[in-house]
């Protein structure tokens, strides 16, 4: 919209307000295609379920940033950068240690990214710090390498355990689990975790990605965009729902308690976390793949009771409301079975989504326009400030 087409507040024109920007196409993207009609999700043209079945997460990170799957040399190069940044640095550890152990892990992670970002661009003006898309991708690869140690250390700190140093012989997913638990993870767990990372990596103009693009559009830098995106993802209507799913399961207790619990929840108009989606109205394209990964974990850990609760809530809620699970529904219990603490689930989402966010930051930088929508004013008409005598 050019300045001349902006409706004047006095003209009587009433521009349509799309609450929540629902249905608004805000820009183009070549990174992912979310298609609710075919219930599909493509990353740079590749079906996400095929990537999850065949690729290590590092290769998908490369794909999102560069547009194609990496050659063997490119993958080795990214892995070298990722490994170089795996260890928790002293400044980040000191910043985390300043926070109470009762701080939410998303707040820890947000703080850590702030510290890393300040270090990355120290000495640069704000304009210099913004950088170009290539430098943004380079910084993003370093950040991608650094985040697992923050998540792992946070959980260990809350459990009163010592830091575990990274291992160079493990890939991203296996090393993430190693640093968190200090034991060699079973292949079935690594595989489920790797799939979850790939499924969580990217989803077009969701709220946190759009937040990152808004920040980028002012010519701010990639770490500032990621800090803001972490704030957006924390909310239970978005990434925070994976934690909320597990809280719901804990509240319900067992499969046979589902109908009564749901009667009460719906009577009090509660939102059932892990269900519903702004774009998908007939089911989330990623759920079957994540549910299959969850099934392997249920089998591995012998937790048929959890699977029964999962199935019972899904069946009952879909039958009553016709609203389907989103990705947070299977990933919450999957992370629970892996022994992550519930508040750590959304930071795991961040460790994955940082790849998508930063790919969008680079895309926004390459064809930038300041993001600044309009609002329709509904407050009082112009009035006079009372004089001292009148007030
Ligand atoms: C990875 C992700 O970020 S996926 C999303 C994770 N978030 C959640 O799981 C939170 C629970 N879900 C929700 O709150 C919603 O479904 C959202 C926010 C994800 C999508 O919301 P919107 O597209 O804005 O739809 P909206 O919230 O208006 O829902 C439409 C109707 O369905 C109902 N509805 C939607 N989801 C749910 C739910 N999970 N539980 C109960 N009712 C629901 C709404 O109450 C509303 O009913 P109404 O028309 O009678 O008022
Ligand atoms: O697309 C959305 O609105 C939310 C979502 O599923 C995601 O970010 O993965």
33-91, pLDDT tens digit by residue? 999 999 999 999 999 999 999 999 999 999 999 999 999 999 999 999 999 999 999 99
CB 274 less than 6 A from any atom of ligand 1: yes
Q: Residue 387 domain-assigned?
A: no
Amino acid 12: pLDDT = 57
**Residue nearest atom 22 in ligand 1 by C-alpha distance:** 278
Pocket of ligand 2 (CB under 6 A): 203, 206, 277-279, 326-327
Same domain, 90 and 196: yes
Same domain, 219 and 187: yes
Q: Residue 388 domain-assigned?
A: no
Same domain, 38 and 150: yes
CB 272 less than 6 A from any atom of ligand 1: yes
Q: What is the CATH number of the domain that holds 179?
A: 1.10.580.10
Same domain, 248 and 362: no
Amino acid 10: pLDDT = 47
Ligand 2 geometric centre to CA of 203 (Å): 6
- For residue 36, give Cα distances in angstroms to 93, 151, 208: 42, 32, 19
CB 277 less than 6 A from any atom of ligand 1: yes
Same domain, 83 and 209: yes
What's the CA gap between 346 and 230, in Å, rounded? Answer: 9
Provide ipTM, 2 decimals: 0.98
What's the CA gap between 117 and 165, in Å, rounded? Answer: 22
Known active-site residue 336: no
Same domain, 283 and 193: no
User: For the chain, what's the residue count?
Assistant: 391
Q: What is the CATH number of the domain that holds 282?
A: 1.10.230.10
Residue 191 and residue 293 in contact, taking contact as beta carbons nearer than 8 Å: yes
Count the Cβ atoms, other than its own, within 10 Å of residue 186: 14
Packing angle, helices 304-321 and 241-252, rounded to 10: 100
Q: Residue 124 domain-assigned?
A: yes
Amino acid 280: pLDDT = 95
Same domain, 213 and 261: no
Query: Per-residue DSSP letters for 289-331?
Result: HHHHHHHHHHHHHT-HHHHHHHHHHHHHHHHHH---B-THHHH
Ligand 1 geometric centre to CA of 54 (Å): 32
Ligand nearest to the backbone CA of 242:
1
Quick check: helix, strand or coil at residue 42? Answer: strand
Same domain, 105 and 200: yes
Largest CA distance in the chain: 79
Same domain, 180 and 121: yes
Same domain, 325 and 193: no
Ligand 2 geometric centre to CA of 327 (Å): 8
Amino acid 14: pLDDT = 80
**Residue nearest atom 17 in ligand 1 by C-alpha distance:** 277
| Catalytic entry in 203, 238, 336, 360 | 238
What's the CA gap between 47 and 60, in Å, rounded? Answer: 12
Query: Dihedral, CA atoms, 177, 178, 182, 186, nearest 10 degrees?
Result: 70
Q: Residue 227 domain-assigned?
A: yes
Known active-site residue 168: no
Pocket test for ligand 1, best of 205, 248, 276 (most atoms within 8 A of CB): 276
Number of folded domains that form the chain:
2
Q: Running along the chain, 391 residues long, what does each successive block of 10 average in pLDDT?
A: 43 81 96 94 98 98 98 98 98 98 98 98 94 96 98 98 98 98 97 98 98 98 98 96 95 97 97 97 96 98 98 97 97 98 97 98 98 96 91 67
- 3-state helix/strand/coil string of 175-235: HHHHHHHCCCCCHHHHHHHHHHHHHHCCCCCCHHHHHHHHHHHCCCCHHHHHHHHHHHHHC
| Catalytic entry in 203, 223, 277, 336 | 277
Amino acid 9: pLDDT = 47
Which atom of ligand 1 lies at the shortest distance from residue 239's CA? 3
Same domain, 280 and 225: no
Domain that holds residue 300: 241-337
Query: Which residues in the chain belong to E strands, given as ranges?
Result: 32-35, 40-43, 46-47
Ligand 1 geometric centre to CA of 324 (Å): 10
Q: Locate tokens 């608004």: which residue?
A: 24
Q: Residue 209 domain-assigned?
A: yes
Amino acid 1: pLDDT = 37
pTM for the model stands at: 0.95
Q: Residue 383 domain-assigned?
A: no
Ligand 2 geometric centre to CA of 382 (Å): 41
Q: Residue 382 domain-assigned?
A: no
Which atom of ligand 1 lies at the shortest distance from residue 238's CA? 3
Same domain, 163 and 259: no
Q: Residue 44 domain-assigned?
A: yes
Ligand 2 geometric centre to CA of 247 (Å): 20
């Amino acid at each position: 919209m050019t300045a001349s087409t902006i409706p004047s507040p006095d003209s009587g024109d009433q521009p349509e307000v799309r609450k929540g920007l629902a249905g608004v196409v805000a820009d183009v993207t070549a990174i992912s295609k979310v298609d609710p009609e075919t219930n599909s999700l493509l990353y740079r043209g590749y079906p996400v379920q095929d990537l999850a079945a065949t690729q290590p997460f590092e290769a998908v990170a490369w794909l999102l940033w560069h547009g194609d799957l990496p050659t063997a040399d490119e993958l080795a190069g990214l892995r070298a950068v990722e490994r170089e940044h795996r260890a928790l640095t002293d400044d980040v550890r000191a910043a985390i240690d300043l926070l109470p152990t009762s701080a939410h892990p998303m707040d820890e992670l947000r703080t850590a990214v702030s510290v890393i970002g300040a270090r990355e661009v120290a000495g640069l003006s704000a304009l210099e710090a913004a950088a170009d898309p290539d430098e943004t991708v380079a910084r993003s690869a370093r950040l991608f390498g650094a985040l697992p140690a923050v998540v792992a250390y946070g959980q260990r700190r809350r459990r009163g355990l010592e830091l575990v140093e990274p291992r160079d012989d493990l890939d991203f997913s296996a090393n993430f689990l190693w640093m968190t638990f200090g034991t060699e993870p079973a292949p079935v767990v690594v595989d489920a975790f790797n799939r979850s990372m790939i499924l969580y990596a990217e989803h077009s103009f969701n709220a946190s990605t759009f937040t990152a693009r808004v920040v980028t559009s002012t010519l701010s830098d990639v770490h500032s965009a990621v800090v803001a995106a972490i704030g957006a993802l924390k909310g239970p209507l978005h990434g925070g729902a994976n934690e909320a799913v597990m809280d719901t399961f804990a509240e319900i207790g067992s499969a046979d308690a589902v109908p009564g619990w749901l009667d009460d929840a719906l009577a009090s108009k509660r939102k059932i976390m892990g269900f519903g989606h702004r774009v998908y109205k007939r089911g989330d394209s990623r759920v079957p793949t994540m549910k299959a990964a969850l099934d392997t974990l249920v089998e591995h850990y012998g937790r048929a009771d959890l699977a029964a609760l999962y199935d019972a809530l899904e069946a009952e809620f879909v039958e009553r409301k016709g609203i389907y699970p989103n990705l947070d529904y299977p990933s919450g219990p999957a992370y629970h079975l892996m022994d992550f603490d519930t508040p750590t689930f959304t930071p795991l989402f961040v460790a994955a989504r940082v790849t998508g966010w930063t790919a969008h930051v680079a895309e926004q930088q390459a064809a930038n326009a300041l993001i600044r929508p309009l609002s329709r004013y509904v407050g009082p008409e112009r009035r006079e400030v009372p004089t001292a005598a009148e007030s």
